[in-house]
Amino acid sequence: MAIKNKKVIAWILAAAMIAAAPNTISLAAQVEDAAAADEAEESGAQANGETVLDNGEVVMEGAVGKVDESEWVTLDDYELVAESSTYKMYLYEPRLSIILENKETGELLESTLNDAKDDGNSNKSWNGYMKSGIVIQAIVGTVNTYQVDLLTCDNTIEVTKTENGFSAKVFFTEYQFGLTVNVSLEEDQLIVNIPDDSIIEQKEGSYISMISLYPFMGYTFLDDEEGYMLIPDGNGALIHLNNKEGRYSTGFSQMIYGKDIGFTDSATQALLWDEVDMVRSANQVIAPIFGMAHTNQNLGYLAVVEKGDKRASVEAHPNGVMVNYNRCFARFLLRDIYIQPLNNSNSGTVTNVEADRTHTDLQVRYMLLSGEDANYSGMAVTYRNYLLDNGLVTIKDNGYNTRVDFLGTDREEFLMGTKAVTVTTVDNVEEIYKELQAAGISSMLSVYKGWQKGGIYNLPISKYKADSHIGGTGALTKLIKESEENNYHLYLYNDALRLNPSTNSSTFNVVKKVNKRTFKDEFWANVYKTFMYQTSKKSDSTLKKFVKSYTKKGVSNLAVEGISNTLFSSSSRGSFMTRYDCAADYESTLASIDENTNLILQQPFAYLWNYTDAFLDMPLGSSDYMYVDEEVPFLSMVLKGVIPMYSDYVNFEANKTEFFLQMIESGVYPSFYITYENSSALIYTNSSDLYSTEYNTYKDTIIEYDEKLREVAGMVDGALIIRHEKLDNGVTVVTYDNGVAIYVNYSGQEQTADGVTVPAMSYKVGEA
Amino acid sequence: MKKRVLRLTAVFLIAFVLISGIDILSVHAETPYRTYTVDGYGYVQETQTAYLAHATITKFGDKFLDTPSDLYVTENGEIYVADTGNGRIIVGDLEGNLIKVIGEGTLISPKGVFVTEENNHVYVADRDAAAVFEFDENGQVVNQYTKPNSPLYGDNLDFLPIKVVVNEAGVMYIVCESNTNGIVEISPTDGGTFLGYFGTNFADQSIQTIIYRAILTDAQRAKMASNIPSTPDNLAIDKKGLIYTVTRGDKSKTLKRLNIAGKNLIDPDSYDPIPAAVTAGNHDNVYVASQQGYIYEYNNDGDLLYVFGGLDDGTQRVGLSTLVTSIQVDQEDKIYILDSDKCQIQVYEPSEFTNLLHRALYLYSKGRYTESKEPLTEVLKMNSMFDYANQAMGRAYFQEENYDMALRYARLAKDYEGYSDAYWEIRNQWLKKNIVEALLVILAVYIVIRVVKFLDRKKQILAKPKAFWENCKQKKVVSNLLYAKYFMKHPIDGSYGIAREGRASWAAPSILLLIFTIEYIVNKYLCGFLWKNVREGRYDILSDIGVVVIVMAAVTACNYLVCTINEGEGTVKKIYTYFCYSLTPYIMLTPVAFVLTHVLTDNEAFLVTLVQLLMIGWLVVLLILSIKEVNNYTGKETFKIIALTLFTILIMALLIFIIYVLWAQVFEFINSIFGEVVYRLGY
């Protein structure tokens, strides 16, 4: 930590601004304060000495020990506040703790740590965390590490009963902020809500940073219950509720809809040889959900973050991460701190607090599951019904297509500028289409990348003008129209987010981070190394301009990337744009474009699902977190039969057989990235990572995949997945609502399931 | 003794009963790390996933590991772990079953473990016990080797063994902490005989240190940071008895393969700054693991095939590491990485792609080139830019005498040797086929010239062009340009012309400089492949032009400054003129060299070198003579002036640099104030 430098800078400033001496000196003091705070945070993390017992329990330093039985808060202390036909809800006011009782089975779902189940291994602050229905992380000054909960902090709670629940007005006297929590039970759904206008902050310098809502909803101790937590990583992943023996220091903690580039600093990774970034970034959270299932008790829930989702994170921590309980919850971020650099070398910085908090309601809907539905299949069905019932998705045409994307042209350095490297022209595409059609592929979806003038990285695209090297605009229009007649749908690709400062002016309309520094997306690439983001307003205007000139030619197939899966906070000319503003802009842009075009989106976030005709690049795996025990195709189960889904590119998969089986299992259609020329032509371009794309290499694979997957897709056409099960012998059974069951055998031996014999590493379609 | 056997049996039983501490991923679509390879220029290229995270072993039976530091995997798949924190060796298998525990009570801090294949004897380097223990397959101590009492070892040196390998004869190679003499070689005879130091690294002898040593006083020298050679960090032995060592910070000597005489046989093209461990693979390949989790696979020649893995960024993903201490490869090419911080063994399995590559490596190393083409084709199908495969493919085609293809692949792989050989053959074939036609063409051209000349004599058909040419010559610029040719041949007379006869000008030299620049650039980027110093497809013309302009400006200015205060007679114009005119040999000879680079191979490379030497020699002679003559200096003065000019250039560069740094400071300062304002106003 460059405290010395900071001092030096502070001194220089002090000398320079001698007129404003009092101000400057206070700044210098602040600089050092921030540094001290940083250090305190670091040492604080190390001081958390933990020991792991033989049975896998983690014991904290300063553990408070078990609660004496006489002081236990038991169900008798709870008050019945609501009752539906299926559940009863009890409330214990001082902790805002609720317990839900399934009226049929009598099983209980607890929202905070029960004194009887307290293992006494945690310190006072964690004890307060675990037993409080709501936990706030506060910012005081510029430090955001203050934990505020109902047990360890002075507070007042006023509870009023409502028709099917209660409303609790909470105020923390020490911190001088408060909020109102509304909880209601509607049949088998529990809705927890914090209205925006109920959040009050009365003291300057004392703010709410994060709110965790019921961080222990449905918790379990070590391996007491069988079951798992569902996390929205990749397609879906499960963390089993088994004993983790203290192996993990962190659990799943990811911002819904990706990290906020407006706040994070990108230049902190470890690079090999100071240049190569070896670590892939983890998957983004596409859908605002998480779930918990206690499979033995036949109890569980799927939670949807309904409001406040654009600046919240899903947290799922297995036992051993600080405490011995498995828990998952949503944490809302209202106000953050950031680093404001004072010069270009970043040697002088101050920590700042966001000027205003995010203004939005916060709401989590827990959809309670019981009986046969208390598993991830039930969660998927529940989520799908929720989406359909609320009009968040509509059923699209789910007909099978093989997806074959093409790269037109990219640039490499030549003399003083760049020159085109063209790998697939319009004529090439036509030729490929003819061959594939002759080979029996009856329909296809293609995204043409790098079609625009100046090549794939001449961004943004604001005009329908094809590069002359691929054949020009006229030829391209003709190709799109003609192939459409043969059910070959060619979509033009448009990344409406990025701007290439080497080919386009970046003076205005690029995104600045909250600290007013221009955001730069740096790549380790051959030609263009830096990209910037357009502001959402600029994205809107360029995209609409493009669509106008495009549709004028009578074509309307459009594939959009970038704005379909990016959200950020930003600042521009003194004003501040939140992720909510950004999402609202993107949503309105895409909604209006969807009216004039056949729009497909690349890996769209959940709030955009209504506007896309296809889901491109559906992940089939997860991010390989160590604490994840099982990968499940959760999103595919939700969306199969609703929106057609296309996989990541098959080309770059190392284990192709396994990948093929995963597509069969999840009902995802295959994707290829194809160039007519050999990919070695791209070696000096930004696309040099496309190491294997030549058409001749993949022709046979495309035909083979098409034949097999089209057959399977035909049998489940328009059907929905109702159950997904992994048997012990390595066979996965996927059951559709039209009675078809698909058996996929991932093991190295022939296996039999439900009387169906499946060869090794293969699949069979049968009747359920 | 009996008690111990009982305990072992109990351990065996428990091992079967207990749940295994292993996580095997059922399905893995994507890895959290990327895989890269290095191309012929040393540039990094992404490639197919080479190894997939397969399993994570956190415990054997119910035994957890505590800061383990070494690992050995035997041919039958038994895993031996030096469980340093618990002072024992744990033996288990890939399924996480515990097979046995060795050395509990005997060992204090076992840092290195090695198992002999023939009799399963376990050698353990125990740092704190200051000994190497040899256990038999039942876990009984057979031998214990402590500090050698040979005076050759060094009396003041401690014996702190941290790694050990053993060859077939039972000779131990031991890496000792803080022993900079090299690897300690001990033979088992007479309870341990010190044979000497092996594979000693040499201290870095940079030009800087040599200069320092020459000019510093003894006292100053003593104060310099001690220049002690670095100790190898880890070592391994292969089936042929070759020893592999890794040493951090030794650049291209980071990885060494030493024969029995201690001679290094490998020259890796990429290396890691902090290597932690090394092991030999099954296909003449070598693996190096970096402490930060990067895993390198090299082929026999030290060409990097892959680098993958990486440092855990705090997201805890399978396949990323935090502190690697050991690497092993089993018979199925699975890689075992021991992570001392995470206390676990990460197992990676090769992908389809890697299996193909390994097959090709094997066939190629056995000389079965034609057969090796099949897996190579598959590899190239998956990744057409894979450098090693292109190279091997080129060599295979060469063996098949398909030189066109050999040439193509060699160029893709930047395999200069292969390219040269293939080109030689192609040229040879061309010559054989076309020699007659070529001679005929030359003859025809000759005849045409003769006929034209004859006709010109008889009928003056060339009268008009000749007159035009004469007319041109009258123009000053053309005449001055032509004078450069004269200057080149007669430097002394030529200089006189510049100094006294008004041959100094601006236009003609500038045209020459322009031609020079164009030739320089064309030659740099478009010369024959074998002579090319720049990466294909890369152009940086602006900076090339900049270099020429800056150098010319600097030499002219500095030479002028020096001459004026030394009674030289040159003006700026004259000086500029002679510098530009001196480039004439380059302008005349570079086209020759350029053509030669396109028709010659490595075998005749000396011809190009000769032309280049001639060119440079001539250029230097012209420079010296013109400086001397134009300024009217004696020989001695001339050399003084040249030295002074060079010195002035140096000072000038330094000055510009200092000004630049100062300006940067000012700029930074202004920026800071701006930053402050932005912060204050919250704008």
pLDDT tens, position by position, A353-381:
988 999 999 999 999 999 999 999 999 99
Do the Cβ atoms of A659 and A274 come closer than 8 Å?
no
Is A680 touching B (CB cutoff 8 A)?
yes
Contact B353 A626 (CB under 8 A): no
Residue of A343, A572, A682, A695 to mutate, testing the B interface (most B Cβ within 10 Å of its Cβ) = A343
Global pTM value: 0.81
Distance (Å) from the C-alpha of residue A679 to the closest C-alpha of chain B?
Answer: 7
Cα–Cα distance between A344 and B134 in angstroms, integer? Answer: 60
pLDDT band at A518 (very low <50, low <70, confident <90, very high): confident
Q: DSSP string of A675-687?
A: BSS-GGGGTTBGG
Ranges of beta strands (E only) in B286-386 are 286-290, 294-298, 304-309, 324-329, 335-339, 344-350
Nearest CB to B385 within list A619, A621, A680:
A680
Contact residues on chain B for A248, CB-CB shorter than 8 A: 316
3-state DSSP of A313-338: EEEEECCCCCCCEEEEEEEEECCCEE
Distance (Å) from the C-alpha of residue A526 to the closest C-alpha of chain B?
Answer: 9
Helix and strand numbers (H, E) in chain A are 11, 47
- CA-atom Rg of chain B in angstroms: 35
Do the Cβ atoms of A715 and A724 come closer than 8 Å?
no
Contact A13 B47 (CB under 8 A): no
Contact A621 B28 (CB under 8 A): yes
| Nearest residue of B to residue A275, measured between CA atoms | B44
Cα–Cα distance between A200 and A171 in angstroms, integer? Answer: 9
Contact A654 B58 (CB under 8 A): no
Residue of A30, A248, A277, A278 to mutate, testing the B interface (most B Cβ within 10 Å of its Cβ) = A278
Distance (Å) from the C-alpha of residue A344 to the closest C-alpha of chain B?
Answer: 7
Give ipTM to 2 decimals.
Answer: 0.81
Q: CA angle, corner A740, sides to A734 and A746, nearest 5?
A: 35
pLDDT mean values, one per 10 residues, chain B (683 residues): 41 38 47 85 82 87 88 92 92 90 90 91 92 91 89 85 91 88 87 84 67 71 63 89 87 85 84 90 90 90 89 84 92 92 90 88 83 87 82 89 90 88 92 92 95 88 86 87 89 88 88 94 90 78 89 93 88 92 92 91 90 94 91 90 93 93 89 74 56
| Nearest residue of A to residue B22, measured between CA atoms | A629
* CA torsion through residues A261, A263, A269, A275, sign: positive
Q: Which residues have CB under 8 Å from B204's CB, separation 6+? A: B227
Is A495 touching B (CB cutoff 8 A)?
no
A607 has pLDDT over 50:
yes
| Nearest residue of A to residue B409, measured between CA atoms | A680
Instruction: Look up residue A85 and give its two tokens.
Output: 């036909």
Distance (Å) from the C-alpha of residue B85 to the closest C-alpha of chain A?
Answer: 15
**A:B CB pairs within 8 Å:** 189
Contact B678 A270 (CB under 8 A): no
Do the Cβ atoms of A623 and A231 come closer than 8 Å?
no
Residues 608-637 of A with CB under 8 A from B: 619-621, 623-627, 629-631
Residue of B539, B669, B680 to mutate, testing the A interface (most A Cβ within 10 Å of its Cβ) = B539
Looking at residue B11, the DSSP 8-state letter turns out to be: H
Where b means 16+ CB within 10 Å and e means fewer, B516-527 reads: bbebbbebbbeb
Contact residues on chain B for A619, CB-CB shorter than 8 A: 29-30
The structure tokens 């109902």 sit at A150
Cα–Cα distance between B573 and B560 in angstroms, integer? Answer: 10
Nearest CB to A279 within list B32, B536, B672:
B32
Contact B31 A624 (CB under 8 A): yes
pLDDT at A574: 72
CA A57 to chain centre: 31
What is the spatial order of strands in the sheet that B131-135 belongs to?
B110-115, B122-126, B131-135, B141-145
Nearest CB to A280 within list B34, B318, B675:
B34
Residue of B14, B15, B200, B211 whose CA lies nearest to B98: B15
Q: Phi/psi of residue B288, each to 5°?
A: -125, 135
Contact B25 A279 (CB under 8 A): no
Contact residues on chain A for B540, CB-CB shorter than 8 A: 413
Cα–Cα distance between A150 and B375 in angstroms, integer? Answer: 66
Instruction: Look up residue A232 and give its two tokens.
Output: 């929205």
Residue of B18, B19, B22, B27 to mutate, testing the A interface (most A Cβ within 10 Å of its Cβ) = B27
Cα–Cα distance between A412 and B96 in angstroms, integer? Answer: 51
Nearest CB to A692 within list B27, B382, B669:
B382
Contact A249 B26 (CB under 8 A): no
Residue B449, classified by CB atoms within 10 Å of its CB into exposed (0-12), middle (13-18) or buried (19+), is: exposed
Q: Is A71 left (phi over 0), alpha (psi -120 to 50) or beta?
A: alpha
Q: Which is more confidently placed, A673 or A654?
A: A673
Contact residues on chain A for B58, CB-CB shorter than 8 A: 245, 247
Residue of B22, B23, B24, B26 to mutate, testing the A interface (most A Cβ within 10 Å of its Cβ) = B26
Residue B275: strand, helix, or coil: strand
Distance (Å) from the C-alpha of residue B32 to the closest C-alpha of chain A?
Answer: 5
Torsion angle defined by CA atoms of residues B519, B523, B525 and B526, in that order, rounded to the nearest 10 degrees:
110
The structure tokens 């057989």 sit at A657
| Nearest residue of A to residue B545, measured between CA atoms | A416
Contact B25 A624 (CB under 8 A): yes
Nearest CB to A343 within list B49, B319, B675:
B675
A219 has pLDDT over 60:
yes
Residues 391-430 of A with CB under 8 A from B: 412-416
Residues 18-47 of A with CB under 8 A from B: 23, 27
Cα–Cα distance between A747 and A755 in angstroms, integer? Answer: 17
The average pLDDT across A581-592 equals 95
**pLDDT tens digits, residue range A705-744?**
999 999 999 999 989 999 999 998 889 999 999 999 999 9
pLDDT at A170: 95
Contact A415 B541 (CB under 8 A): yes
| Nearest residue of A to residue B307, measured between CA atoms | A278
Residue of B30, B65, B543 to mutate, testing the A interface (most A Cβ within 10 Å of its Cβ) = B30
Is A656 touching B (CB cutoff 8 A)?
yes
A217 has pLDDT over 80:
yes
Q: Other CB atoms closer than 10 Å to residue A622's CB: what's the count?
A: 29
